[in-house]
A and B are shown apart, each in its own frame.
Chain A
Amino acid sequence: MQRLLKELQGEVLAIPGRDIVVAFFLFLFILPLITTEPFILRIVTFANIYAIYAVSWDLLCGFTGQINLGQALFFGVSAYTSALLNYYYGLPAWTTIPIGALVAVGMGFIVALPTLRLRGIYLALVTLAFPIVMTGIIFAFANFTGGEIGIPGIAPLSPSRTITYYITLLVMLASVFVAWKLVDVKSKIVRTGIILQAIREDEITARASGINTIRYKLLAFCLSGFLAGIAGGLYTHVMRIAGPSTLELMTSVYPIVWTIFGGVGTIFGPVTGVYILFPLVESLRVVGEIRILLFAILVVVVLVSMPEGIAVWVRDKIERTCPRCKLINMATRRTCRACGAELHLIKGR
């Protein structure tokens, strides 16, 4: 118990970035106690779902370097699978969502197999095509899939708004935690973090070091598909309709927007991006038609001034890594909290 407390103090409390994360998650937990305004709860519920979705993109693109411009494929396929299972067979949400996610994993596998030969921008542009091909298939079988209207009348996740909120919040926390652990470079239990980042940095060298890059790229596609699939299934059951909008171009673009806005290649980046941008866009509805214009201008301005993303920019302002022992310190400290090295002489990270 005492060791746990000490660990908590050293690994969480002393690092300002993690303080903010903990405080923010605590805030999310007590949010329904503060307000039960349906509008706010609904927005944060969707933000929870989209956080999973954005993290799934970051896992594949930020960490493994496989730029996927068609993430909507996983989201949409899972959304449609959940909807069809619920609509035709009446299965409840807790079975349709995992099945949808598994189908998305299958899609990840199918997409990855032909595209493993492609790299960089070729991969990006080919993946862009998959959701559009899928939309074509959906329209071709309009009798079964509902065509442009989609499949309405899906069973809700739970009867109460607050319970739905907590379900999405817990699933989000679990997914983000798993993703964070999987990509942790320093982890002694799983090696995926360091291997995936090695593939991103230099695939040939990774292969020369004896890493089966094909297997790990497939793994990255499947993991990303699974997380995006969970998000897609949750979305269907909260929205209570699955339509072709889950496969359209903007659905692929949004996770990219959130992730890059927050900071690509960090798990906290996409989460930050979602919780800043999604409520902002929704509340901008009050200004009417110029909403998307304002949003796009904001994205351009922020990214041109902070090209690495807003969360990374903030982190670099409030944290400083000790040059001697590599511990993370608060930026206000003059000496390292462990080894006493002079910190105020170095600039930034």
Chain B
Amino acid sequence: MTGKEPISLGRKILYAICGLGLLSALLRLFLGLGATTNLNDAYPWGLWISFDVLAGVALAGGGFTMAATIYIFNLKKFEPLLRPAKLSAFLGYLMFIIGLTLDLGQPWRIYHPMIMWNPHSVLFEVAWCVMLYTTVLALDLFIIGLERYGKESWVKFFRDIYLVLVVAGVILSTLHQSSLGALYLLLPEKMSDLWYSQAIGPLFFTSAVIGGMSVIVLESLISAWAYKRKPEMSILPSFAKGLSLVLLVYFCMKVTDLYARGATVWVFDKAHFFFYLELFGTVALPAILLSFPEIRNTQRGLYLGAGLSAFGVVLNRFNVSLTSYGGYRAFSYFPSIFEIIITISLIAAAILIFDLGTRYLPLYKSELSGEAG
């Protein structure tokens, strides 16, 4: 791929969406949240928190999951998936930060948690972890950039201390992925008992691993299709087997948790519909599908399994943050057109930058030769 070919139709559409998003973001900044969103005192948190923040961070869990797979569990055969995962994780966090900035009432004060501390606040910890982890991801991409420009001595320096970055990334991810769930520990009376749980932290962490792994599979398949490469069918099925195992673990955790709390599971209403869809349609079903070699050895099977589980993670975050809170108030909430455009344009921007990265960065090069000792 060279940068000189004419811009394809797909890219044109993505650029157009980004333009609309930029315009909406400006409107949001100048007119305020009340004028441009459907948020209100009954629903202080809406689509941006559910999708850009909660779901986005979980889907960007691929960075630390892959780093742990390669460097901590030493499963080196999966290395071709590592660098694209790092790039997509970084973009996930970047988009999350932009989304969150627009969601804040005072975006220009986003640095306040750095200098104004409240160590009692889970959100304070999330802010710090996300800040540090995004720095780790940025450093990692910086090293890849150094490689591209042939700064061998610099690359060697960073590779020598690379284990520090990996361990820091894994610690920070474990903390903030689970703490995003722990934000909801303070809302027992507002949430449906289908989702309110003392175990919400570990549940969020495990489903972030699922989100990360399924995005890695999807991203690998889709970029192979987009750049007319051969998908990594020698390793993806085995990776998907791992995904199916994590899904199984997560399913058991969910069921144990529901049983231990004695949640009212067998009723039929709107919340329960989304609950069944989440637990059976997007956790149990892909776990079963991907456990069959006949299914996970085909591209279509991988698309289906990974697609369902990624959708399941998103659905879970919406359920925790909106469905579960919905029964509490007589009011209802549906995002405004600006909220939707900005969310979609963040996804479009991430795809465009990923496209740039794929073309200009050595994403498919091995880094294990100079591995940390």
The answer to whether A binds B is no
